[in-house]
Amino acid sequence: MSMLLGDAMSEMHQAHPMQVDLDGVDDLFGDNVPLSLPSHPPSRRLRRRLDELRNRGCCRRLAWSKGGTIASITADGQSLDLRHLRADPKDATWGLSEPRLTAPWSNLNGGPIVHLSWGPANSELAVIDAVGRVLLLMFNTDLNRPAVSRRWDNDAVDDLHSIVGTYWLNPLPANSRFYPTYSPAVKNTNGSDYSFETRGVPTMGPSHPNPMKSAFVCITTNGLLKLFWSQNNNKTEETTLELESATSADDLITHAAVCSDKTKNIFIAMATTSNQLRVVQVNITFNAAKPENAQNAPQNVPLAAQVLSVSLIKRHVAVTSWLQAGMHVSPLDASMTKISHIEMLPAQFDFQTKQWSPIVILTVRSFMPEPNSHYNQEVQSIIDRWELVIDHKETVHPAFERLGSRRNSGGSTPSTTPRLKRLDSVVVNKIVMGVNVISFGTVLSFYYNDGTVEYRDRSTMQELYREPNLERMNSILEAGFSQGGEPLCLQMAFSPTTFSLVQMYEDGQIKWHGLNFTSGDPDKTSDGQLSAIVAGCTMSTAGATHSSTSIDDIFAVARMFPRRDEFALKWVTDFVQITRMSTDYSEDIPHDYLIRNQNLQICFSIFNHLGWNGEFQPRHFRSKMASLVLNVRNTVIIVSLASSAPSSVKAASTPLDEPEVVNCLAGCARWSIDFLCWLCDRLFGLLDDRKFMSFLSQGAQTNQSQQLINMTRYLHERNEVALHLILSSSMRHLISAICRRVSLLDNYATRALAWYSGRPEPTDATSRHVGLSAAYRKVHRYTSTATIKANELDDLLGTLAADIRVAYSKSLGPLERDKPPPNANGSKQPDRVKEARQHCELNLLLVKEPPPSFLAVITKFFRQDLTNFQRNINTTQLYFADYHILEVNNNPEALESKEKRGVYVDMFRRVEISREASTLRRQCARCGNVMEDLSSPNHKPGMIFLLAQQRTCCCGGRLALLPGVEE
């Protein structure tokens, strides 16, 4: 009967749908609580992942390195997928690269790979299998091609050695006392610009004595500490220490966390199967091994250059139970009897109170209802915390104190013993899938199974960055951004700058998510909003630059906003302010100071990228200028390294005696000469440009500042960068440096050919002298037939530099005369002349109008110096020369011709290579520059040394092997 009635009712519903008004149903039982459907039950894959987190302390399958490599374990656990962020050369949009599969091991006797851990230095990756064997990979050259630095073939295959906690020692900073921080950004009184509070976070030891190295700490399930560290000859060694003696299953460790301390020790928190939380302190000391003949050993050799040994000393600190009865903070507390995460937060120095906050241990327990449960139970996580109180004084009961006073007993002072003080727990109605400690331990980030992300303060556990705060920003998120992913998330990895993240979903897919701008349309941002966004980017850029961290996802955020030229100007201005970098090179100083200024490279890289829209699209004014300057800088570095290699390389083979190196230098000589010729051709073009020269011919009554503003505006309209290349002291110094490198190569080639001219031709075609002689002839052909002589142009630039120094001296002289007297306390007064010169040079770096005093200098340069220089130059030859190797011509015809030719310009050898060639190629992830992969075991030491320095592009971006070509 019910079935018949059901069919009849179904037919009625189809013919006449019933309208049901549910308004007011929520108040049916007298309350205002809205009715809601039960949430979707947790999936089987999510349950499996939570069980994995509970049973195995180390099971991270997705990790992001400081260098930019994103490593993930494949579904079968047999190999790794390597990805990275890349700007598409077609339109410069950022996205995730295709995965590159790698499996640099001979066997997996220890079971599948279960854990990945990136080191803080040298992009070193620790790969751990199911039984705790450790393999170390280095990513020094490419983002997606590792080299094995330690194999695991000799490691024991034993379940008791499975890893439950890992930690990399902090690298030794340049300043051994502090790590610099560049936040918060505080809005100035003008309402648009920001100033930055720079502080120093005290260093936490211990550290490897070599600043370029770290050491890897592992804790095994049976309580063994393993320390993997590298000798100065790059040989990896292992030192072990027994932390706990596991005599039964209750003593086994399930999870462990490690942190460094101000006392130059490490503290280890271990959770056991018997619900104990134990803390152990370990002293790690790197010592110099005593030489066999101590009397003849050299004195005062730095520790980083000696043979090292390591000593480990332990001390048990405190113990408690992480599952304490009577401390329930949730009705489901008793159901959460397993830990899924443990973290250890280092001690923090409070600059206001001048006190250290204690170390904090954090654990996570999660509840997930049973699949067939009859109760509508929600998922939940409890975050428990303990403080490690080191100087806790044992108290005596007052009755005993009174007894002691009646007996006139002096008594003894209670001893101080460390203990774990439990703090308030935090309950979250989600499943915590991961915890990250950021900002030197001051901030915690949690990500959940639904793809959401939370940032919390370490002390109060209050949520951070939930609302925009443009007055005082500590994070880019306070500038109007939000961060998160998508549901069905099993694992998540944050970029080193925390500007983006990657997610691993239940179906195994991996996706990249950048920041979301939630304060309006990016196309309609106000000036105040843009300044706040730039300030947020600048804080992270400064910190990343100091720690050699990739900033590619910061560029991805910057490209979200159409006002890129204005964005780049503000970004570079704030970056110069926050890092206090020098832009004034008007004095005659060695070129090495300019080359070593890594912050200046970042400034040019910002201009280069934000004005680039694809390899076949025209560049904006500042991007065109920056691209040339970065390539000039890179060429100077290559020639300098080849001509002044370290003694360890020269002991085996001098780079200038290797044909491969000299052929590379020949390409650099050709590119450099073409650049110098192009520069002179553009300057001669301005000399013949009547409108440009009219800016230098107006009467004295005309406002000089307005003349220069009009001149700069005209150069921007024509996309003509030659004049600014020689006016800015930093760029002029680089051009002078490349002039001298061309002269140096010409000198080398002349001497080599003179040596070969007095000797018979080698008869053996395989002799290296055949190739070496041909390579030096190529260098000499380029330098001897150049239309522009490098030494003559260098003299012209020297004259211009001298005139600029005179102009500065005259215009800024009153500041020197009006210098205030020194303070009574002897503090140094700011150098107002130096500050004014820095301001002028910064404007020139930003390609703004020159200072008024430069008008006379520019007029003299064009009407006198350049005119005299032009008399001995074949300008017709310059005009009709082919400069396609420079890739500087941005007109549509040149870009179309470039696309049709189907070639790349190799940024290392400076030769054209076909896009269809079957050879391996490396491409910059940031700007799309390409070079042929020249790695070969047959190379001699000189070429190996030179290639090892080419680990980054001229713009500072990392290189990666292009897909589609098999090795």
Calculate the alpha carbon distances from 889 to 366, 444, 625, 846, 894 in Å: 61, 49, 12, 21, 6
CB 134 within 8 A of CB 150: yes
The CA-based dihedral angle spanning residues 934, 937, 941, 946, taken in that order and rounded to the nearest 10 degrees? 20
Question: What type of residue is 865?
Answer: D
Q: Classify 557 as helix, strand or coil.
A: helix
Q: Which residues contact 255 (CB under 8 A, 6 or more apart)?
A: 57, 164, 165, 270, 271, 339, 341, 342, 363
Q: Classify 519 as helix, strand or coil.
A: coil
Q: What's the gap between Cα 369 and its chain centre?
A: 41
Q: Which residues contact 539 (CB under 8 A, 6 or more apart)?
A: 182, 183, 184, 185, 196, 473, 476, 578
CB 323 within 8 A of CB 275: yes
- Determine the Cα angle at 597 with ends 591 and 601, to 5°: 110
Kindly give the residue spans of alpha helices, DSSP state H, lying in 621-703.
621-643, 647-650, 659-687, 690-694
Q: Which residues contact 596 (CB under 8 A, 6 or more apart)?
A: none
Angle, in degrees to the nearest 10, between helices 790-811 and 729-757: 160
Calculate the alpha carbon distances from 106 to 76, 82, 112, 148 in Å: 16, 19, 13, 12
DSSP string, 259-316: EEBTTSEEEEEEEETTSEEEEEEEEEEEEEPPPSSGGGSPSS--GGGS-EEEEEEEEE
In sequence order, what are the beta bridge partners of 218? 166, 226
CB 144 within 8 A of CB 960: yes
Per-residue H/E/C for 729-749? HHHHHHHHHHHHHHHHHHHHH
Q: How long is the chain?
A: 967
- pLDDT, residue 6, reads 43
Q: What is the largest CA-CA distance in the chain?
A: 116
Q: What is the mean pLDDT of each run of 10 residues along the chain (967 residues)?
A: 42 44 47 52 91 94 96 96 96 96 90 95 91 95 93 93 96 78 90 87 88 93 96 91 87 95 92 94 88 58 75 95 71 78 93 87 92 74 93 59 55 70 93 94 94 95 94 95 93 96 94 94 91 96 92 96 94 95 89 89 96 93 96 95 81 84 95 97 95 80 82 95 96 96 96 85 68 93 95 96 94 74 61 90 95 94 95 93 91 88 92 87 94 82 86 94 67
Calculate the alpha carbon distances from 666 to 338, 736, 749, 955 in Å: 65, 19, 10, 22
Q: Which of 235, 256, 262, 234 is nearest to 244 (CA)?
A: 256
Calculate the alpha carbon distances from 464 to 341, 469, 530 in Å: 21, 11, 21
In a 10 Å sphere around its CB, with 0-12 CB exposed, 13-18 middle and 19+ buried, how is residue 788 labelled?
Answer: buried
CB 369 within 8 A of CB 375: yes
- pLDDT, residue 769, reads 81
End-to-end, the C-alpha distance of the chain in Å comes to 73
Q: Which of 216, 219, 212 is nearest to 228 (CA)?
A: 216
CB 658 within 8 A of CB 940: yes
Per-residue H/E/C for 28-91? CCCCCCCCCCCCCCCCHHHHHHHHHHHHCCCCCCEEECCCCEEEEECCCCCCEEEEEEEECCCC
In whole angstroms, what is the distance from residue 955 CA to residue 924 CA?
9
- pLDDT, residue 381, reads 94
Number of helices followed by number of strands (H, E) in the chain: 24, 42
333-336 long-range Cβ contacts below 8 angstroms, 24+ apart:
333/382, 335/367, 336/365, 336/366, 336/367, 336/380, 336/382
CB 143 within 8 A of CB 136: no
In whole angstroms, what is the distance from residue 333 CA to residue 323 CA?
9
In whole angstroms, what is the distance from residue 82 CA to residue 72 CA?
7
Query: Which two three-digit tokens encode residue 932?
Result: 């042929």
Query: Which two three-digit tokens encode residue 595?
Result: 């080359």
Query: Which two three-digit tokens encode residue 717?
Result: 């309209």
Q: What share of the chain is helix, strand, coil (3-state, %, to 5)?
A: 35, 25, 40
CB 584 within 8 A of CB 837: yes
User: CB atoms < 10 A from the CB of 196, how many?
Assistant: 19
Q: Dihedral of CA 737/739/742/744: which sign?
A: negative
In whole angstroms, what is the distance from residue 386 CA to residue 725 CA?
59
CB 465 within 8 A of CB 447: no
Q: Classify 158 as helix, strand or coil.
A: coil
Query: Which two three-digit tokens encode residue 284?
Result: 């790690």
What one-character DSSP code corresponds to residue 864? I
- pLDDT, residue 75, reads 94
Calculate the alpha carbon distances from 30 to 24, 33, 348, 451 in Å: 10, 9, 51, 36
User: CB atoms < 10 A from the CB of 451, how many?
Assistant: 18
Q: Which of 800, 733, 794 is nearest to 589 (CA)?
A: 733
Query: Which two three-digit tokens encode residue 959?
Result: 């290189």
Calculate the alpha carbon distances from 160 to 55, 254, 456 in Å: 13, 11, 35
pTM score, whole prediction: 0.91
- pLDDT, residue 745, reads 96
User: CB atoms < 10 A from the CB of 421, how many?
Assistant: 14
